[in-house]
A and B are shown apart, each in its own frame.
Chain A
Amino acid sequence: SQTIHQWPATLVQPVGSPLSLECTVEGTSNPNLYWYRQAAGRGLQLLFYSIGIGQISSEVPQNLSASRPQDRQFILSSKKLLLSDSGFYLCAWSITGTETQYFGPGTRLLVL
């Protein structure tokens, strides 16, 4: 069966510090991968998606970036965090060509 992991679970970072969140998927190959942000009391916003290694599409302009160095690894990064980057970050995967997405447990990021 497939599983998706995210770490860390919780992170508190000062403004201006770098960020690296990791997401890995097991039990499948060549998945589509997604990063979402969920701000407090709001819905989900798609940040990035990837259909293959090194192929990243950005949905919204921001100071975040994403990379996919391996087939089942998706990384969300920032060189300098802003207060507005605080939120709950969710990674998801889907089988290529299908609609259903499966979500990881999420990372709670607090920027102070």
Chain B
Amino acid sequence: AQSVTQLDSHVSVSEGTPVLLRCNYSSSYSPSLFWYVQHPNKGLQLLLKYTSAATLVKGINGFEAEFKKSETSFHLTKPSAHMSDAAEYFCVGYTGTASKLTFGTGTRLQVTL
């Protein structure tokens, strides 16, 4: 079955240090993958999306993700964390049916001083 797997349910980093949120996808997926961010009690905001044009995708707020077919991974990174980055992050895949998406279980990013 098609799926995306977020390897960490919770990640804690210090402000100013790099962020790495990990996501693996099933190899049968079409190459459309997304990262969304959700701040507490808010809707989801699109950070970036991969659609096979380039393996390194740059998103908003300094985030980027690299599509690695050999590792079936789509990890999200940021060089330097800010306090405002504290939120829930979802890795999402496209099923190819009526624009339906499949969501990972989410990674909660905590940023400490």
Given contacts A32-B98, A43-B90, A44-B90, contact A100 B46 (CB under 8 A): yes
- Does the CB pair A94–B42 fall under 8 Å? no
The listed residue (A42, A92, A100) touching B49 by CB distance below 8 A is: A100
The listed residue (B90, B99, B104) touching A94 by CB distance below 8 A is: B99
Q: How far is the CB of B43 from chain A (nearest CB, A)?
A: 4
- Does the CB pair B42–A106 fall under 8 Å? yes
Q: Tell me the nearest residue of chain B to A99, going by C-beta.
A: B94
> A residues within 8 A CB of B36?
103
A residues with a Cβ closer than 8 A to B are: 6, 32, 34, 42-44, 46, 49, 51, 57, 88, 90, 92, 94, 96-106, 108
- Does the CB pair A103–B98 fall under 8 Å? no
- Does the CB pair A103–B44 fall under 8 Å? yes
Contacts between chains A and B (CB distance < 8 A), count:
52
Q: How far is the CB of A66 from chain B (nearest CB, A)?
A: 14
- Does the CB pair B99–A32 fall under 8 Å? yes
A-B pairs with the 9 shortest C-beta distances? A103-B43, A99-B94, A103-B44, A94-B99, A44-B103, A43-B105, A105-B43, A99-B32, A43-B103
> B residues within 8 A CB of A92?
44
Q: How far is the CB of A45 from chain B (nearest CB, A)?
A: 8
Instruction: Give Cα A88–Cα B42 distance, bound, in whole angstroms.
Output: 9
Instruction: Give Cα A106–Cα B41 distance, bound, in whole angstroms.
Output: 8
Instruction: Give Cα A104–Cα B41 distance, bound, in whole angstroms.
Output: 11
Q: Does B101 contact A (CB under 8 A)?
A: yes
> A residues within 8 A CB of B105?
42-43
> A residues within 8 A CB of B98?
32, 49, 51, 57
